[in-house]
Every structure is written in structure tokens, then in C-alpha cells.
Amino acid sequence: MPNDDGLGEKFGGYTVKQRLREEVESPFRQVRLFFFGGGAASAMVALYFSALSTLKASMGGYVDAMPMDEALQSCAINAVSVAVCAGLAWRDYQAGEANLARIAKGGALARLSVVPASMPNTRTTLTEYRRTARVLIAAGGKDYISELSRSLNSDQLSDKNTLPEAIEAVDVILIPVLLENDGSVGDTRTSWLNTVPEDGDRNFDIDRANNIVSFPLGNAAWAEYLESEIETAKKQGFDVVGKGFTIVVKKNGRILRRATGQPQWGGFIETMEVMDGSKFGMPGDSEKYGGP
């Protein structure tokens, strides 16, 4: 079966579709690269001739040689022009490569599979949550997953735990991911369901948060996606298995923020609508929030 009429064909590490998307997001990047690259090449040619003029002026005996001060000034101007144009072109190229990497990773994220806790026989991908829900990926070891489960499925304060309802109200889907010590992804669903309440966990019900929880499916794909996140966290000295980390994905599929530790539900719920920017231009916002 054809792959999107060739849009899935890779060159330079990225597909045609990803490169087209990068061009849509930055429509004048190629123009700038051509302009600055051409400017750098022209300045290099001019620098070559001004260097020859400087050499002739220093050697003497040439009737057509320009004065030394003029030759040196010309060399300096052309050298600066080369450096500036080449620097601008390189910076724009690097920005394009970074944007391509982000687009590629966003595509990998969208293809990840999950199983909703409320529908254990249903398989879906994160693409299905685009425009309708924010995704909170919470990854960590067994103790981390257990603490996360207990925080949502039991009354830990004097009042009833209403976190699942509050999280659902701000359109958030939680995806817990069990990390093994070697960086692989384990059986998250089994670990979650085997959570044992501790002292202070009143009225524990493992199904209480089912409406907002989905479990990762395809552990290898999830491990591959999280590999760079884990490496970055480790380089910063964080214990990704013991302390864990979270990734918040906006409704448009872009990463909103990364943080270590358990989700801070109070501040998270209160600020999510504004931080995500979903009140400004997302489909269905007028009906939900009011406005044009």
C-alpha cells in the first residue's frame, strides 16, 4: 500500500511529510537560507579578491594595486560579511533541524497506543486525544505508580477525594508508565491494578479514576519515545525510576511542560486552562468558555 503518495519516504532522517510541515510552519526559512547562504558565498568571493589586493599592496611593484589601508579595510568588511551571513544561515538551519526533530517526535507521540482503563478491550492512539484532551504522561518505578494510583483512588484527606472529577473537568487524560531500572517500560496496567492501600488511604477503589486513566500499549514503542526524556533527566541528576517525571501534552499535540516527581494536582488543575491556552482558539472553546 502506498505510504501517503510518497509523503512517508525519508531523506536526511525525516519524511517528506515532516519536511512539508516544517515549511508550512516556517514558510520563509528556505528563502532566508538562500539569501544568507548566497550572501556568504558572494562575500567569500569578494574576500578572495580583496585578499589578493592586500597581497599586491604589501608586495609593491603593481601599478594597479590599491593603497594598503583601503585593501585592509576591504578585507575586514568582506570577512565580517562572510561571518555574519554564514552565522545567520547556520542559525536558521539549526532552527529548522530542531523544528524537524520536534515534529518527528510529535508524530511518534501521536502514534503511541493506549488502552483506556474504562474500556480494557479498546485500543486507541494518542492521535485520538488531539483537540479533545490534554495528555499527562507520568512515568516512574513501581512505588511511583503505586503512589500515583493511591492519590487518585482513595480518600487521603478528611473530605472525599474529588481529584478524578476535577481532572476530567479540565480535559486531562492520565497515562501512567511503569519504568524498569534498565529504562524499559513494564506492565503498567498490572502494577496499577495491584496497588495496595496504605494507612490513611480511606475508601480505596482502584476503579475510581478509570474515566481519566489510559494504560500504555506497546511497551517497546513507549520506551523508545521516552528514551531521550530519560537520558536528559539522568544527565540533570534526577532519579527517573524513584522520583519519576511528568510530561504534559497540550490539545494541539505539543509539549507544554516537563517536571519531575508526582503531579502537583492542585496547581495543575487550577492553571491548566490558561497555561494550555485552550481558551484561545481551540475548537469548541466558544461553547465551553464563551466568547466569539
Q: Cβ of 175: how many Cβ atoms within 10 Å?
A: 22
pLDDT reported for residue 2: 43
Q: Helix count (H) and strand count (E) of the chain?
A: 9, 9
Torsion of the alpha carbons at 57, 59, 64 and 69, rounded to the nearest 10: 10
pLDDT reported for residue 112: 93
CA–CA separation, 191 vs 12, rounded Å? 40
pLDDT reported for residue 291: 44
pTM: 0.72
Q: Which of 257, 250, 256 is nearest to 282 (CA)?
A: 250
pLDDT reported for residue 25: 76
DSSP conformation class of 239: -
DSSP conformation class of 208: T
CA–CA separation, 244 vs 219, rounded Å? 17
pLDDT reported for residue 91: 92
User: How far is C-alpha 11 from the geometric centre of its chain's CA atoms?
Assistant: 22
CA–CA separation, 253 vs 246, rounded Å? 15
Burial class (CB in 10 A: 0-12, 13-18, 19+), 18: buried
CA–CA separation, 180 vs 174, rounded Å? 19
pLDDT reported for residue 13: 66
From the first residue on, what is the mean pLDDT of each consecutive set of 10 residues in the chain (292 residues)? Answer: 54 68 79 91 92 85 78 92 94 86 79 93 90 92 95 82 89 94 92 90 91 95 91 89 92 87 84 64 49 43
Can you list the domains of the chain with their CATH numbers?
A: 10-103 (no CATH), 114-281 (3.40.30.10)
